[in-house]
Structure 1
């Protein structure tokens, strides 16, 4: 009887997701991008400085940071020129050096998918990986002077091509981060992080945690790299499937606040199960279609308890005027005002 009941739950999950959305058939299976940045083999073989370079795959961000602190600017620039894709994606490297490296990598790229990222030479691109659908991270504000630093983790259908699309702006990491920074202002910085392989459409990838597991490792390594470079992250905002990433990363993230919005679940029954010391916040607009997705987890499908439900135990953020799944960062909304207060370190 118990097995039969579980089978019914699984069938209900599949039926509800297909009926409440475009259906799993609309999704395309993705292979998570893992491993060291492109160009690592040439980097490992390069002895231009007369010493071994840090290994992008094995060395920790702290070890990378320590290596770069021992170099003068000429040696640093030599590495940027010779290996822009490695330096630009090397967690623990100085952020200004990563900006330089990624500007060079984008300028040298002949892929039209990334032309929009290179068009403005003043953008602070903190990561750029052209492999697959492309991954990118951009900084809004000044990390050198910011007292509070936030990272925005997006959900499905985001890559380098859709990172800053002009349609559905507040559903993009760049749009969300830019809106948050405009509200918080000087003394803060916001990083739009599209640094993992996201699901495409509403297929099995979106209903399982495989891509989120890979993404959680990349997110923690990225934030550890910022901390090693002297820029600790204080708040992480996680939208939609990005909240699954953040739920799996939570025990290893050192942020003071973890904010989820439009979440399908965090692969945890409650806040305690996240094993984090961060304050956990949740926002969900009543009109968000994510509410049609059953918040259960069975046989690898589904992501568990709704973080916005009282049973989960997160602090609630008002979001009744967010207007759907991608309106949480829209100017003038209650949710954006609350997000800005959290990002600025206010006690709510």
Structure 2
């Protein structure tokens, strides 16, 4: 009886339970992996995108000439642009080609009179999103058009950075909402841009949307299914950064993103793990995360996530509140934070602490 009551509470706390359909997580390497594996243009076997480690990928590229690297980017932009362990500048170049190709395909659909008006409008919207990511100066470290679309963007000079931060977003984030102008500090590009602006030139910030996020406050948001699919992808992404010689990053996890980070924690090669507006990390306390990283937590008084039960019942709920002193995380002040999506807003005490953490200055 108590279990049923708790389940009812959790379902009530996640209003829209029946309204939001379950998402199918994107998994495996992007399209084109088979053609990549069969390519012999480099004079040697190419690393398998599905099974080679980022360290193996990095070592492979060290043996290639610049012309060989460029040829692979031109022949397999979707694969190379998402290949953790490959040089950042090469991934940027590959993703320009992949985005241009994707935009051309969507524009063709948008102009196809045989399609319905709705189909043409959707294609035009996607083409416009891709056009925005192709704007001069943008550094796209990953791009995958499958599903609702995934992307990672770098703010700052990654190759010259002494400090790196990665932002992992929560629900309702995909290629379409990645850099929205409405509520910008609740979107990963706005969060990363703000953090980069609060840190020095030797810090690079990456907005990472590399997993399929929940839509709405339905069953996906109340369970760990999508987080379990996303955790290995986050682990591999951070391994790729370290494999290329970058310092261990500080990872900032917002809302449902903290569930992803909690499940990934044992394998993450990171300096700091920072959660904000967290529904729980699927761990009883910071020690249960089995990480050597420093664990931090922030929650503002006006954040609605504080009203969500921090419990787990079978598959429902995400467990203990990381912002509770008993969890054992270091506290990040959030007195000047507005609601659930204001943690990275300029002028907040949370942002100032995030910047200190990213730069390795926070005690």
TM-score (normalizing by structure 2): 0.92
Q: Distance in 2 between the 1:309 and 1:168 partners?
A: 27
Which residue of structure 2 aligns with residue 262 of structure 1? 277
User: How many residues are paired up?
Assistant: 341
- Return the alpha-carbon distance in structure 2 between the equivalents of residues 344 and 50 of structure 1: 42
> Match for residue 297 of structure 1?
312
The residue aligned with 2:324 is: 309
Once the two structures are TM-superposed, the CA of residue 324 in structure 1 deviates from its matched residue by 0.5
Where do residues 1-348 of structure 1 align in structure 2 (5 Å cutoff)?
Answer: 4-18=1-15, 23-110=16-103, 111=106, 112=124, 113=126, 114-348=129-363
Return the alpha-carbon distance in structure 2 between the equivalents of residues 14 and 66 of structure 1: 48
Structure 1 stretch displaced more, 194-203 or 23-32: 23-32
Q: Could you give the per-residue CA deviations for residues 302-334 of structure 1, whole angstroms, max 9, x where no partner exists?
A: 000110011111111111221101000000001
2:112 corresponds in structure 1 to none
C-alpha deviation, 1:255, in angstroms = 1.0
Contact 1:107 1:118 in 2 (8 A): no
Contact 1:154–1:240 under 8 Å retained in 2: yes
SS in 2 for 1:26: coil
- Report the Cα distance in structure 2 between the residues aligned to 1:194 and 1:116, rounded to whole angstroms: 18
Q: Secondary structure at the match of 2:326?
A: coil
SS of the equivalent of 2:155 reads strand
Deviation at 1:15? 2.6
Work out the CA distance in 1 between the residues paired with 2:134 and 2:141: 16
The runs of at least 4 aligned residues of structure 1 exceeding 3 Å deviation read: 116-119
The worse-fitting range, judged by mean Cα deviation, of 116-125 and 213-222 is: 116-125
Distance in 2 (alpha carbons) for counterparts of 1:232 and 1:5: 48
Shift of 1:41: 1.1
- Mapped partners of 2:359, 2:246: distance in 1: 15
Kept in 2, the 8 Å contact 1:65–1:94? The answer is yes
Instruction: Write out per-residue CA displacement over residues 280-317 of structure 1, whole angstroms, 9 at most, x where no aligned residue.
Output: 11000111111121000011100001100111111111
* Whole-Å separation in 2 of the counterparts to 1:179 and 1:335: 12
Structure 2 residue runs without a partner (length 5+): 107-123
Tell me the alpha carbon deviations over residues 201-224 of structure 1, each in whole angstroms, 9 at most, x when there is no partner: 111000000100111100000110
2:263–2:281 CA contact under 8 A, matched in 1: yes
Conserved in 1, the CA contact under 8 Å of 2:96 and 2:134? no
Equivalent-residue separation in structure 2 for 1:286 and 1:195 (angstroms): 30
- CA-atom RMSD in angstroms: 1.1
Structure 1 unaligned runs (5+)? none
Which stretch of the first structure deviates more once superposed, 44-53 or 97-106? 44-53
Q: SS of the counterpart of 1:157?
A: coil
